[in-house]
Amino acid sequence: MNLLVDRETKIVGVGRTQEEAMASMQFNIERSGRITPQRAERRKEIHAWLPTPNLLHIKGVGAILYESNHFKNLRTGRDVRVKVKPLSHYLCLYSAFDGKLSYEDFTITVAPQVDLFLRNISDKFLSLNDFPYIKPAETLNIKYYHETIIPGLFLIETYNNTIVASYNDDYYEVDKMMGVDSECLISYLLSSIGFTYDGMEMRKIHEE
């Protein structure tokens, strides 16, 4: 396993190769708010804004309305019940985008607007940058092993206090956090490998 540390920010990246570790480090640096010029252009391209405190609109993607404790996608009709928990961003809001917004764009490109939108609902929500880093899983000290309805996708809880998602023999893990429900971390982890999970249903995102 390769580990890289940015000298200025001390932010790390982990990967099976140097290239994967570099990409991981750059992603984590951008997630902290230090974006690249390319990211700034992407923000202009899919401009996100809040026409009202309870409405998040993203150009070319759609709009999410918060009403009666639900997120409703005004383009697709997808409706997701909101669970006000510190790190339920992917469980509720990301799932409501119905696969129309990439994990990277949600996590970095429109992060300021996502954080503001959720803070308008409750101060219990933390920011996207508060999520623990996702990294490749090197060893599996398996405690519990769960099959899913999606072929090739498995979830593993380890004695190392991590949750691992395995899809087509690739393994990625995230550390458990005190006070954070596992379903929130599972949804976050699955989002990073191309799925949505709202606590009830898992879906594969089909990128166009």
Q: Is it the case that residue 208 has pLDDT exceeding 60?
A: no
126 phi, psi to nearest 5 deg? -85, -175
Could you report the per-residue pLDDT of 159-199, keeping only the tens digit for each?
A: 999 999 999 889 999 999 999 999 999 999 999 999 999 99
The two counts, helices (H) then strands (E), for the chain are: 6, 14
Listed range (25-39, 46-60, 194-208) with the worst mean pLDDT: 194-208
Across 98-111, average pLDDT: 97
The pTM of this model reads 0.95
pLDDT at residue 206 tops 90: no
The predicted pLDDT at position 63 comes to: 98
The contacts of residue 122 (CB under 8 Å, 6+ apart) are 84
What does the pLDDT read at residue 139? 85
Kindly state the average pLDDT of the residues 11-18.
Answer: 96
pLDDT of residue 68: 96
Q: Are 65 and 54 in contact (CB under 8 A)?
A: yes
Of 154, 157, 158, which is closest to residue 167 (Cα–Cα)?
154
